[in-house]
Copies of this chain bind each other. A is one copy, B any other.
Amino acid sequence: MKNLLLGCILILPLAAGGTLSASPLPQEAIATATQLRDQALAGSGAWEVVESLTTEVGPRLAGTPADARAVAWAVEKFRGMGFDRVYTEPVRFPVWRRGHERAEVVAPWPQPLYVTALGRSVGTGGRIEAEVLEFSTLQDLEAAPEGSLAGKIAYISHRMERMRNGRGYGPAAAARGTGASLAARKGAVAFLLRSVGTDSDRLPHTGTMRYEDGVPRIAAAALSNPDADLLSNMLRRGQPVTLALDIDAGMDGEYESANVIAEVRGRERPDEIVIIGGHLDSWDLGTGAIDDAAGVAITARAGALIAALPQRPRRSVRVVAFANEEQGLLGGFAYAKAHADDITRHVTGAESDFGAGRIYAFSTSAVPEGAREVVEQIAGALAPLGIEHRPGEGSAGPDLIPMAQRGMAWAWLAQDGSDYFDYHHTANDTLDKVEAAALDQNVAAYAVFTWLAAESEVDFGSAPKTPPERP
């Protein structure tokens, strides 16, 4: 109710006055948006898409045979959805390979630990034994004197905080990304961290990390959260605790995967594109249901609903299933590089990559005066879905960051991520965590946003700019 009111308050003066923009959307366009919304809520078919990808492909770590199976699956699935065109664009990247991973407490209280190697980590080169030293945060590790970790395993026990918007992820993921090299600079032989996750299950969270140039590369792995509790409880007793680690992992050649693209061709301005999508790859531990079969399914079904309308929208709609998001937005960067000259043609876009929870908020990048009324119309059409307009918040979805860095306008359809980090990057990312009705609400929101943005003629603010240099 609060959301409904908000939508009305924002729209009414504009609709009455009509002075802010020359091109509000006509009532027929809004009526079509309402129809798309109701159709999606009545059963969007998104759950069936997630079921299909997780069952018939399952885990699809970039660069593995399952990556190729996922691309073939997406091409075939999209072809069956009524798009005008389905095609692929190549994405090349170095391959990371996970072998085995074993960890145990050797002394003083021997017992096994549940760990998983972080993405792009090297192995331990066989079984190593070393004393473990705990740091509460990345900052504490940073403060450790040079050389003080010689021959030791560094362990960061930082606990991620549960929040609807997932904002607890940043500080926790920072330790995952940079902890190993920081520890290695001080002499450590391996790096462990408490999983970047909010659950209390015996399933460690993987995720990507990176090595600093010129620093020895040491193995990096995450303990499940109950194992992190256990290790901290042991260390609290004050005796030295020795762990054994045996991790086999590493980089292994190059691979060419593909972004899979499905298009609805615009009836008046086919060269102008509203881009939506998710990423097709997943980590290898789970079946990638929430990360990100859900996003692929939501945006593909939203696109398919638009493709099934009697009339095409003015502008084209492009649904992209991005390759290898997990190891550094490789599909997103490849897309941005291939389309570097087309930034202004991508009038706006949104990626779904935050699980399978309902959408509760909408916003966009800075709105030019001429687009303000249309953005308010979109917000008004989203309001009955329980979606609040929150100007000034949000960001581009991960695979659209490279396009946003080059100046593309974006929209944010914020999913409730309260339980996202219970399952994220673990074996527990499976179909049972996905609720069909929540996906339907997402499809409704994407269909409404995408349709109205593509049916409009306004400039949402895309304008070329120089992207930052890639690390």
Contacts and interface: CB of A to CB of B under 8 A. Distances in A.
A112 to B, nearest CB: 7
Given A203-B201, A203-B202, A432-B229, A109 B56 contact: yes
Contacts of A81: none
A432 B105 CA distance: 19
A287 B51 contact: no
Interface string A369-394: 00000000000000000000000000
Nearest to A55: B233
B287 A229 contact: no
A216 interface: no
Report which residue of A57, A110, A225 has the largest number of chain B beta carbons within 10 angstroms of its beta carbon. Answer: A110
Contact of A55 (B56, B109, B203, B225): B109
A420 B234 CA distance: 26
Given A202-B203, A203-B201, A287-B111, A234 B432 contact: no
Interface string A425-468: 01110111100000000000000000000000000000000000
A203 B234 CA distance: 24
Contact of A431 (B66, B226, B237): B226
Nearest to A428: B202
A111 B286 CA distance: 10
A54 interface: yes
Contacts of A355: none
B55 A234 contact: yes
A229 B110 CA distance: 35
A428 B111 contact: no
A58 interface: yes
B202 A233 contact: no
Contacts of A65: 110
Interface string A211-245: 00000000000000110011001100100000000
Contacts of A230: 54-55, 58, 287, 430-431
Given A58-B111, A112-B59, A234-B55, A286 B202 contact: yes
10 contacts: A55-B230, A55-B233, A57-B111, A58-B110, A202-B203, A202-B426, A203-B203, A226-B428, A229-B431, A229-B432
Interface of A: 51, 54-59, 65-66, 105, 109-112, 114, 200-203, 225-226, 229-230, 233-234, 237, 286-287, 426-428, 430-433
